[in-house]
Amino acid sequence: MSRGYFSHIPPVEFKGVDSDDPLSYRYYDKNRVVLGKTMEEHLRFAVCYWHTFCWDGFDVFGAGTFERPWHTGVLDQDAADHKLDEAFDFFTRLGVPYFCFHDVDVMAAAATPAEHVKNLSVIVDRIEEKMAKTGVKLLWGTANLFSHPRYMAGAATNPDPEVAAFAALQVRHALEATHRLGGANYVLWGGREGYDCGLNTRMGQELDQLGRFLNMVVEHKHKIGFKGTILIEPKPHEPTKHQYDTDVATVYGFLERYGLEKEVRVNIEANHATLAGHSFEHEIQLAIDLGIFGSIDMNRGDPQNGWDTDQFPNDLREITLAVYYILQGGGFSTGGFNFDAKVRRQSIDPEDLFYGHIGAIDLTARALLNAAAMIEDGTLERFKEERYAGWKEGFGAKMLAGDVDLAGAADYALEKNIAPVRKSGRQEFLENYVTKFVK
Amino acid sequence: MSRGYFSHIPPVEFKGVDSDDPLSYRYYDKNRVVLGKTMEEHLRFAVCYWHTFCWDGFDVFGAGTFERPWHTGVLDQDAADHKLDEAFDFFTRLGVPYFCFHDVDVMAAAATPAEHVKNLSVIVDRIEEKMAKTGVKLLWGTANLFSHPRYMAGAATNPDPEVAAFAALQVRHALEATHRLGGANYVLWGGREGYDCGLNTRMGQELDQLGRFLNMVVEHKHKIGFKGTILIEPKPHEPTKHQYDTDVATVYGFLERYGLEKEVRVNIEANHATLAGHSFEHEIQLAIDLGIFGSIDMNRGDPQNGWDTDQFPNDLREITLAVYYILQGGGFSTGGFNFDAKVRRQSIDPEDLFYGHIGAIDLTARALLNAAAMIEDGTLERFKEERYAGWKEGFGAKMLAGDVDLAGAADYALEKNIAPVRKSGRQEFLENYVTKFVK
Amino acid sequence: MSRGYFSHIPPVEFKGVDSDDPLSYRYYDKNRVVLGKTMEEHLRFAVCYWHTFCWDGFDVFGAGTFERPWHTGVLDQDAADHKLDEAFDFFTRLGVPYFCFHDVDVMAAAATPAEHVKNLSVIVDRIEEKMAKTGVKLLWGTANLFSHPRYMAGAATNPDPEVAAFAALQVRHALEATHRLGGANYVLWGGREGYDCGLNTRMGQELDQLGRFLNMVVEHKHKIGFKGTILIEPKPHEPTKHQYDTDVATVYGFLERYGLEKEVRVNIEANHATLAGHSFEHEIQLAIDLGIFGSIDMNRGDPQNGWDTDQFPNDLREITLAVYYILQGGGFSTGGFNFDAKVRRQSIDPEDLFYGHIGAIDLTARALLNAAAMIEDGTLERFKEERYAGWKEGFGAKMLAGDVDLAGAADYALEKNIAPVRKSGRQEFLENYVTKFVK
Amino acid sequence: MSRGYFSHIPPVEFKGVDSDDPLSYRYYDKNRVVLGKTMEEHLRFAVCYWHTFCWDGFDVFGAGTFERPWHTGVLDQDAADHKLDEAFDFFTRLGVPYFCFHDVDVMAAAATPAEHVKNLSVIVDRIEEKMAKTGVKLLWGTANLFSHPRYMAGAATNPDPEVAAFAALQVRHALEATHRLGGANYVLWGGREGYDCGLNTRMGQELDQLGRFLNMVVEHKHKIGFKGTILIEPKPHEPTKHQYDTDVATVYGFLERYGLEKEVRVNIEANHATLAGHSFEHEIQLAIDLGIFGSIDMNRGDPQNGWDTDQFPNDLREITLAVYYILQGGGFSTGGFNFDAKVRRQSIDPEDLFYGHIGAIDLTARALLNAAAMIEDGTLERFKEERYAGWKEGFGAKMLAGDVDLAGAADYALEKNIAPVRKSGRQEFLENYVTKFVK
Ligand SMILES: [Co+2]
Ligand SMILES: [Co+2]
Ligand SMILES: [Co+2]
Ligand SMILES: [Co+2]
Ligand SMILES: [Co+2]
Ligand SMILES: [Co+2]
Ligand SMILES: [Co+2]
Ligand SMILES: [Co+2]
């Protein structure tokens, strides 16, 4: 039951592309079937709890601007309940199927391990009720191992194992809560798993701690029978100078090193991708090709600013390509599009939370239509198929299969007096092709 | 025998810290013993052939400025010989023990596979003579798989396997030449192993090609009995939009994926590190901790410009830390400090080539003295030892060893009612400590 | 008369939005009237000579890949003529009204001042004929003061005034050629007007040299009766570490300092804007607000790479906003959209030059339609009008007019016991609004 | 009178270069005379109030870690007094001559204009007493126009003039307080004077507001007889996407535009310089050459992270060059070195505040010795003098003086058949020269 913060905003409905109502969907028609599945099934949208309900609009240079009624100064059970009521009211009015949360987002603040367990348990009961009542589901849960001062030097990678023990407590209960609530995934973002100063840090030691911790999480998942996917969310830096889970390629190497590449996948955030010096679609494609693609944190950074701005996405071309690669990779299994995005701190009204989400949802739905049209057309895949055809047979196939050694390949070049005919990569043609579908 | 380009410059000698002669060493006294080895043995300096003898000072916006006498417009055998004479004269006058080269740096230009093999063979004979006469040794050889138009879409990762065959030809002969010349390492830098456009690229396919190619190289190394180390040089981009060997962590994951983590190590370039968003010392420390540290390409980028400027290093603090971490990691085995650095295109005189190298050599020698003093003092290691002591015994040790599971660690936190006492990371203290040793 | 490089490509025609012909326009219908002017009149497209006809596909890491028939190794009069023939054939087939060039792009290479004047004169005669025959016009001319080794340390800012004299020679004749050819503008991009090394540079002295030089250009313009606009093209770095004409704000200050703010305007390049840490539309809006907006170099950079990639634009949202701000500012007077863009070096076919330009032209035409629709709708301007209404009357108007001093304003706050009511900035709402028009 | 937070730390004394006491100075001997002035007179060190006494260690991802005893949750008069006591105790123990503050740093929190004026007045009385008692002086005062939610859309540039009136109130009283306390300068940093979203912003209008506001400040300064310097502190972004006072060149153009270039100077922050894509020394040299150099905010950013990290400086080479350029420019008049730097959030002990400042002070003192030695040696200036000699007489001097027009310069080149002889820029030689002095 809501307390009325959003009560003046009617449920957001699909009104078609010509709608002038800024609180309606123009593209997201959740039951519309595209490539054999409904939009809702393809896109699996989730609202994140932290940015939308916990953040008060503060930044490093200024105090909160939002004045949400549930931000009363102390995060006691009342405030947590109030927040929960409004959150589910928001989910319902927005019409998204999923949400995501950190343990400390939803619960009353706790001072001790015992209080932590208790307060989390109390709110999980209420979340369960809310979910049953509304039909809103949990895309993923996670534990916040970075905001409390105890984690200032890391959680699993802390020089003090007692801190890692506290982290284990949080993860255990967050994972069990996620399991109980039917979550489709469990995420770990290592906000303080990195370093600020190489001079006081043993990187190899800390990586071993992190590898062991992640194995403990995976083992516990199996022990309790959680069927969802364990996901790591890469980020190159911020808050720490260097985060160990830098990007998809780094996480892949880490998983290989600690024997987890079959157990753990990645939750790719757009803004983290660009902070790491990659395009969003690069990270998606790489994760697919390495077999560790899991889920998406949808947002965007500012291409001229160097920190995690977590803005709502609005680049239709970028999201069209993102959806295209995901669909080509088989689409989401347990993952989905979680909006790890926040309205700007000048966007202080309840309406603004709707504008942010509606714009992003509609953009992604539109991107789905574009991507589906490209897939049905097939030009891109045919182009690639033909471009790499030489590796499917003859010398290329043999070399790839390991049937030619270096001397053999060298001799082949010498004997055939090879002078490869270069072919245009057709980049501009292909970019124009995509532009045509971005509509 | 030189043709006289450098003949007016006397051999560079160590003249002590008070020397005012800009063509002398103030710190690099090659026979001075530091921590039980001579400076020469520790630092293993190499001059690179390409920047110093092949580059004519051109950039994307302007023509060459250097007018070296061996740059006659065509790279025929005469020009190659002339260049070789001057190069060894330079090495000798500078007094460095090593050099490095790409096949096409040293040989006359070749139009066909057969010509490539022949022209390389001719020059390798002459190099062998030069080395015997001067005592200069080969730190590493490599094949240039990026400058010729045939490689515009990659070498091993080219969509056309014939191009990969040509690459195999070059690598085979460059590796065999390196072996014959007693090279300590063989390097692969994948200048075009990446992509400019995701729309025409199958990243997974190309990674498989690259993985297979690298395995072929390793197999061939063993077949011919080369005892040196195979090294990959990471770089995040440039010339391509995205290079597959992005950074140390990415290369590690790649090596794991293709079963090569025991066979191949990394050649870390300072400028590539910073282009990838890491500090130079981060990449060194990470490579050591992952067990794949090999060698160093010494230079620096411009912190305000976003491309590979390959300048001579001049940051004493940075290089002090780099040398410190290398020494802490056991020092070089087969690797060394290769100056992959070029004088600016306004530095058009032969003297400038000396100034660039002398400054860098002396800086590194000075850094060695600083690093050795920090090691003898021991404060940094003691600080870390104490900081992580909790993981050496008790709960920490058990957790790291796999003797505690997630529930066990959580219960430990609960039962002990853990409230970890935070300790200062002492970053400023440690930074001041280093500053004191940077002298 | 063409020599046939493009003869297999039929003139590019407008075929409408449903066209599947990649060599047709889907949006650019040059005679279509939008907001009272034809598309051709609004957009004033130009092809640049340098990237499209002079560049052979080389980059810092590799040789040219394009093998244009007029790239014969020496740039003599024959090669220059051949290039000219193909260039005008390209302009004509593409159907653009304008082109742009540097002196050395079009002329045969010259070794002396006298030869420079003569060779330029010869080709300008032929350009004049070509223009008369084809109707293609000159958007702007310029002198290349950065490629020749003489300019390695700057042109007007060179420590040697003789180099500045050579620059004066080139600019005088390029300006006079532009005048004679009816050019609408004359551009100065200071490719080497900056520094690589602060230690050998007197910035204040060099700025004074540059200020004086620019005044000389403006005086000469008036002397010869040239009615076009003198434009400076800002860029923050590359090739030099720091370019004096960093960005629009910097150029504005420079013009003020040397009394030129009424005489000189800016040619804004998209890629230079983003290299300077600004969005393209920021630079446009700022130039308009400062009264120095002139013309556009249309292209895009790579958001993950840190150098000037000069790619053809493909971001419809970005270009829609760019065109919107330009139209809001009154549109071009003498300026236009020059494509300072190059196909990638893997795009080796003559077709690729067409794909690059067609995609960019069509994108901009589409952006014009989007921008016009936003202007007709008027929401954005109404929003701003209302947002700043407080400054139009009462206390705000008085303060802006200088009728309130600091004490007065402070007293006003005190006496009125001011507690300003904050209003949402509606960023997400406005971004969604734009998204709707980007189609 | 202190409350004891720092009472266990003895006054920091100069103990000479061999001192092993991390709480002593090794270089900063305040009475040591260098180039005719004491170190104290040259360097004019100041401690900033905000980072050292107001910040509790929070960041965007986590809560405060410092637990200073005066951080009691509410900033009432008691807390403000407690903070003030500890601050002056710190200044005294550290032995710096100056401090700097924002109004809201020192005063009790205020809810209304009247309360603001009163609370500021109360604390200014106490500051005055403290200053008299300790001899610590005020380098500059400023008003915080960015932290309070009222300023979320700017202060002087706010769309609502009532907010600008509140800003006027704060600035008036902060300026008058600075005057009363004998401050040497008054600083304006426009933390929210910029925009987050171009779509809701009239840049030209906001610049006019800012220009008018700054004129009001300057007029008030003269009215009250304040003899200190008004300073603007440039920054390119953060907190806003784009700050109007981007960098030195931008501020210069702004001052010219609003007729203030003789009245206002710049306070250059190292971290802001690098965020703007410039080196610290570039910004200093440019400000000197433009005649607007004022003061320094001393700190450093992280070269791999893209936000304002405000770390204590530790790069001896960078600071040596900074001090060198400042001394060459005549040294500080009213300005000084203010440490706008904060210890890392893991540096939680009172000692850490000392380590941060001591390291930075000592580094700067050491840089002063280095810079003085370079000045006494004179090589750099002689090199430049000779390099630009051609502009001192003959053709160069005439051209610079305006006695040669473009045609004249072109004819000179033609008639003399100019072929400029290029000279090496000697960058590596000069860099080695500096390296030698960095000790
Ligand atoms: Co995220
Ligand atoms: Co983020
Ligand atoms: Co290298
Ligand atoms: Co490099
Ligand atoms: Co341009
Ligand atoms: Co460009
Ligand atoms: Co500052
Ligand atoms: Co700062």
Phi, psi angle pair for A352, to nearest 5°: -60, -35
Non-local (6+) Cβ contacts of B350 within 8 A are B5, B6, B8, B9
Whole-number percent of chain D with pLDDT over 90: 99
Q: Which residue has the tokens 């500053």?
A: B435
Neighbours of D400 (CB within 10 A): 19
Q: Extract the tokens encoding B333.
A: 């085995």
* Strand pairing report for B37-38 and B33-34: antiparallel
In the prediction, which pLDDT does D48 show? 98
CA–chain centroid gap for B258, Å, is 22
Q: How many CA atoms, within 13 angstroms, populate the side-chain half-sphere of residue D335? A: 29
> Which residues in chain D have their CB less than 8 angstroms from residue B438's CB?
316
Say if the Cβ atoms of A362 and C432 lie within 8 Å. yes
Catalytic residue positions of A, numbered: 102, 105
pLDDT interval class at B69 (50, 70, 90)? very high
Domain with CATH 3.20.20.150 in chain B: 33-377
Residue D132 in this model has a pLDDT that exceeds 80: yes
pLDDT interval class at A131 (50, 70, 90)? very high
Neighbours of A181 (CB within 10 A): 17
Instruction: Establish whether C315 is an annotated binding residue.
Output: no
> What is the rounded average pLDDT of the residues B175-201?
98
Instruction: Establish whether D76 is an annotated binding residue.
Output: no
Asked if D5 and D69 touch (Cβ cutoff 8 Å), the reply is: yes
pLDDT tens digits for D280-334?
Answer: 999 999 999 999 999 999 999 999 999 999 999 999 999 999 999 999 999 999 9
Whole-number percent of chain D with pLDDT over 70: 100
In the prediction, which pLDDT does A397 show? 98
Residue of D nearest to A196 (CA): D344
In the prediction, which pLDDT does B51 show? 98
pLDDT tens digits for C160-197?
Answer: 999 999 999 999 999 999 999 999 999 999 999 999 99
The shortest CB-CB distance from A344 to any of C344, C362, C425 is to: C425
The shortest CB-CB distance from D343 to any of B22, B65, B428 is to: B428
Non-local (6+) Cβ contacts of D305 within 8 A are A237, A238, A241, A306
To the nearest whole Å, the CA of A259 is away from the closest chain C CA by 31
Active-site residue B222, yes or no?
Answer: no
In the prediction, which pLDDT does A272 show? 98
The contact set of B with D (CB < 8 A) is 22, 26, 65, 274, 277-279, 303-304, 312, 314-317, 343-344, 346-349, 351-352, 355-356, 358-359, 362-363, 422, 424-429, 431-436, 438-439
Q: Which residue has the tokens 């090199």?
A: D383
CA distance C428 to C424: 10
Residue D3 in this model has a pLDDT that exceeds 90: no
Residue A2 in this model has a pLDDT that exceeds 90: no
Write the burial class of residue D231 (CB in 10 Å: 0-12 exposed, 13-18 middle, 19+ buried). Answer: buried
Residue A115 in this model has a pLDDT that exceeds 60: yes
pLDDT interval class at C2 (50, 70, 90)? low
Instruction: Note if the bond before D113 is cis, omega within 30 degrees.
Output: no
Among the listed residues D359, D304, D315, D269, the one whose alpha carbon sits nearest the alpha carbon of residue D50: D269
Residue A1 in this model has a pLDDT that exceeds 60: no
Write the burial class of residue C273 (CB in 10 Å: 0-12 exposed, 13-18 middle, 19+ buried). Answer: buried
Residue B273 in this model has a pLDDT that exceeds 90: yes
Ligand nearest to the CA of B271: 4
pLDDT interval class at A167 (50, 70, 90)? very high
Say if the Cβ atoms of C391 and D242 lie within 8 Å. no
Say if the Cβ atoms of D275 and A64 lie within 8 Å. no
Annotated binding site of B for Mg(2+): 233, 269, 272, 297, 308, 310, 340
pLDDT tens digits for B419-430?
Answer: 999 999 999 999
Residue A189 in this model has a pLDDT that exceeds 80: yes
In the prediction, which pLDDT does A336 show? 98
Neighbours of B33 (CB within 10 A): 11
Q: Is the ipTM of this complex over 0.95?
A: yes
Catalytic residue positions of C, numbered: 102, 105
In the prediction, which pLDDT does C3 show? 81
The shortest CB-CB distance from B306 to any of C65, C191, C305 is to: C305
Residue D1 in this model has a pLDDT that exceeds 60: no
pLDDT tens digits for A376-419?
Answer: 999 999 999 999 999 999 999 999 999 999 999 999 999 999 99
In DSSP terms, which residues pair with B295 in a beta bridge?
B267
Q: What spacing in Å lies between the alpha carbon of A141 and ligand 2's midpoint?
A: 16
Vertex C356, ends C352 and C360: CA angle to 5°? 165
The shortest CB-CB distance from B432 to any of D65, D358, D439 is to: D358
In the prediction, which pLDDT does A138 show? 98
CA–chain centroid gap for C319, Å, is 14
Provide the b/e sequence for B194-230 (b: ≥16 CB within 10 Å): bbbbbbbbbbebbbbbbbbbbbbbbebbeeeebebbb
pLDDT tens digits for A323-370?
Answer: 999 999 999 999 999 999 999 999 999 999 999 999 999 999 999 999
Say if the Cβ atoms of C281 and D198 lie within 8 Å. yes
Q: Which residue has the tokens 């025959």?
A: C133
Instruction: Establish whether D269 is an annotated binding residue.
Output: yes
> What is the rounded average pLDDT of the residues C312-329?
98
Residue of B nearest to A214 (CA): B406
Neighbours of D350 (CB within 10 A): 17
pLDDT interval class at D2 (50, 70, 90)? low
CA distance B274 to A128: 48
Residue of A nearest to C359 (CA): A432
Q: What spacing in Å lies between the alpha carbon of B301 and ligand 3's midpoint?
A: 11
* Strand pairing report for D264-269 and D242-243: unpaired
In DSSP terms, which residues pair with D298 in a beta bridge?
D339
> What is the rounded average pLDDT of the residues C368-386?
98
pLDDT tens digits for D189-210?
Answer: 999 999 999 999 999 999 999 9
Residue C420 in this model has a pLDDT that exceeds 80: yes
Q: What's C54's DSSP letter?
A: I
**Which listed CATH number (2.30.30.90, 1.10.10.10, 3.40.50.880, 3.20.20.150) goes with C33-377?**
3.20.20.150
> Which residues in chain B have their CB less than 8 angstroms from residue C61's CB?
146-147, 191-192, 238-239
Which CATH architecture is the domain D34-377 placed in?
Alpha-Beta Barrel (3.20)
Domain with CATH 3.20.20.150 in chain D: 34-377
Give the orientation angle of helix B379-387 with respect to helix B427-437, to 10 degrees.
Answer: 160
Residue to test with chain D: of A55, A58, A59, A61, most D Cβ within 10 A: A61
Instruction: Note if the bond before B239 is cis, omega within 30 degrees.
Output: yes
> What is the rounded average pLDDT of the residues C22-50?
98
How high is the mean pLDDT of chain B?
A: 98
CA distance B270 to D197: 37
Residue B2 in this model has a pLDDT that exceeds 80: no
